[in-house]
A and B are shown apart, each in its own frame.
Chain A
Amino acid sequence: MSTSQLVFFGLAFATLFSAVLVIAARNPINSAMSLVATFLFLAAIYAQLLAHTIAVLQVLVYAGAIMVLFLFVIMLLSLTHLGDPTPPPALHQVVGGVAAVAVLAGLVVAIWRWHEMAPVGRAREGLLRFGTLEQVGGLLYTRWLLPFEAVSLLLLVAMVGAVVVAKPRI
């Protein structure tokens, strides 16, 4: 097993472990900190996938901005008290858990068969440029300029909407 495979499996295990902690932790603060760890491990996996730009954005936007927003809201609502002990699982929770496991099984089977049916050969040219800010920016500001501008409009609407929704009186 080569070094990069070892690195990948270590990162994958760390990602899944912290992801499970996110949904298992009773205190929302612990969930949020586990989510930060998940995002950082995922950023390392993105970098291993040659997506350097997205890895940097993952750290800046996800682990930085979005998680600060989450922590800020948790602190604001002072939800750190654990409350009464967890009630027994309701029927819809059991069904939801079974559904999640079933979806996972279906996805694993599908990925397995995809690998057997269509092994795609890999070209090795142009790897030095792949995933760099230059290439991603070049695509973003030429062919995908309209979606990019639409996203900026979406962010503006979300910003105004967040103010309108969260304000007690306008």
Chain B
Amino acid sequence: MQISPVDTQNYLLLAATLFCTGMLGVLVRRNALVVFMSIELMLNAANLTFLAAARERLDATGHLAALFVIAVAAAEAAIGLAIVIAVFRNRGTVNVEDIRTMKY
């Protein structure tokens, strides 16, 4: 049994790129569902960072952090999608630029 010779740095770089991809999706896309999917991408990038650090330090506590992130992401998806359904029922759109009652 041996640690694979891929550096932790590579995993962190992948996580950073994945996080910024998700951030780009949140900031640029107009469809609320795609914005939610981008948030899931960002959460997964955080998970990847936790797991890479856990392997670097050989400390399984990072795995628990990833587990909790997955649970919180499930809760967030349930609530967020319920809000999307409620907004679509009231407004007939999921375009985030048309939903601006609380903006001004």
Q: Is the CB of B16 within 8 A of A96?
A: no
Determine the main DSSP class of B at the interface with A. helix
Q: Which of B10, B57, B58, B86 is most buried by chain A, counting CB atoms within 10 A of its CB?
A: B58
**How far in angstroms is the closest Cβ of chain B from A152?**
8
Q: Is the CB of B77 within 8 A of A66?
A: yes
B18: chain A residues within 8 A (beta carbon): 15-16, 19
B54: chain A residues within 8 A (beta carbon): 49, 51, 131
B40: chain A residues within 8 A (beta carbon): 35, 62, 66
Determine the main DSSP class of A at the interface with B. helix
Q: Apart from A31-B33, A139-B64, list 13 A-B contacts with CB within 8 A.
A: A22-B34, A22-B37, A53-B63, A54-B47, A54-B67, A66-B73, A74-B33, A104-B20, A131-B55, A135-B60, A159-B78, A165-B83, A166-B85
Q: Which residues of B contact A (CB under 8 A)?
A: 1-14, 16-29, 31, 33-34, 36-38, 40-41, 44, 47-48, 51-52, 54-58, 60-61, 63-64, 66-68, 70-79, 81-86, 88-89, 94, 97
